[in-house]
C-alpha cells in the first residue's frame, strides 16, 4: 500500500536566501543566493503568503474533503504559517517501480499521489482565496514534495513526533486521524 507525506509551501515562503538553500525546478537543491532572492523579491507579483490559524483550518478541512473525494486514507495533517503536510495512503494503484527510497516517474502509485496533491493544492488555494476575498493572488508556491513512506517506523515517526511538533514549534494546526 503506497504511503506518502505530501508537502506544499506557501507562496514565497522558502526564498533563495534561506539558510538551508533553495530548490530550483529540475535542478534540485542550490546554495543560498542573496542576489537572486533580491531579484525575485523585486519581480514578485505578490507579497509572501502566510497561513493564519483561520487559513490553516480551511486548508486542513479541504485536505480532508479531497482525501474523501479521491478515496485515500488521511492519516495526519499539519498546517503552519508557511507550509502544509498531508500523510496519506491508498490501496490502488500500487507502487510498481521498486525504487528503494523515492518512486520513479511513471510509477502508478506516485502518479496517483501527484494527482491527489495537485487537486488538494488547487482546492486549498481556491478556498483560501474565497475566505480572504482575493482574486489572482497566489497562495501556494509551484511544485510540491512527496516523500514515500516505506517503513512502519518512518510512518510512526511522522505521526508521533514530526507532525505534532508543528503545533508546538511552528504555531501550526495538527490533526492526527488515526
Predicted local distance difference test score (pLDDT) of residue 165:
95
Rounded distance, CA 163 to CA 160, Å? 7
171 conformational bin, left if phi > 0, alpha if psi -120 to 50, beta if neither: left
What the block records as the C-alpha cell of 60 is: 486542513
All structural domains of the chain: 3-12+47-176 (3.30.70.1290)
Which segments of 18-107 does DSSP mark as H helices, in order? Answer: 34-43, 53-69
**3-class secondary-structure state, position 147:** strand
Rounded distance, CA 148 to CA 112, Å? 12
pLDDT tens, N- to C-terminus, the chain (178 residues): 788 999 999 998 877 777 887 777 777 777 888 888 888 888 888 999 999 999 999 999 999 999 999 999 999 999 999 999 999 998 866 666 665 555 666 778 888 889 999 999 999 999 999 999 999 999 998 888 888 888 999 999 999 999 999 998 888 999 999 6
Predicted local distance difference test score (pLDDT) of residue 100:
52
Whole-number Cα distances in Å, 120 to 16, 38, 58, 115, 163: 25, 30, 12, 9, 18
- Specify the DSSP class assigned to residue 159: I
Amino acid at each position: 500500500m503506497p504511503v506518502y507525506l505530501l508537502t506544499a509551501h506557501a507562496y514565497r515562503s522558502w526564498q533563495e536566501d534561506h539558510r538551508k538553500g533553495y530548490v530550483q525546478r529540475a535542478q534540485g537543491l542550490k546554495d543560498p543566493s542573496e542576489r537572486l532572492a533580491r531579484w525575485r523579491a523585486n519581480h514578485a507579483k505578490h507579497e509572501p503568503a502566510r497561513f493564519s490559524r483561520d487559513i490553516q483550518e480551511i486548508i486542513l478541512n479541504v485536505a480532508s474533503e479531497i482525501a474523501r473525494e479521491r478515496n485515500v486514507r488521511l492519516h495526519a495533517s499539519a498546517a503552519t504559517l508557511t507550509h502544509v503536510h498531508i500523510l496519506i495512503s491508498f490501496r490502488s494503484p500500487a507502487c510498481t517501480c521498486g525504487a528503494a527510497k523515492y518512486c520513479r516517474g511513471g510509477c502508478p502509485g506516485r502518479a496517483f499521489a501527484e494527482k491527489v496533491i495537485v487537486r488538494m493544492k488547487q482546492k486549498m488555494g481556491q478556498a483560501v482565496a474565497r475566505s480572504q476575498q482575493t482574486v489572482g493572488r497566489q497562495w501556494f508556491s509551484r511544485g510540491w514534495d512527496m516523500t514515500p513512506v516505506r517503513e512502519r517506523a518512518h510512518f510512526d515517526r511522522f505521526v508521533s513526533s514530526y507532525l505534532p511538533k508543528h503545533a508546538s514549534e511552528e504555531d501550526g494546526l495538527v490533526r492526527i486521524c488515526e
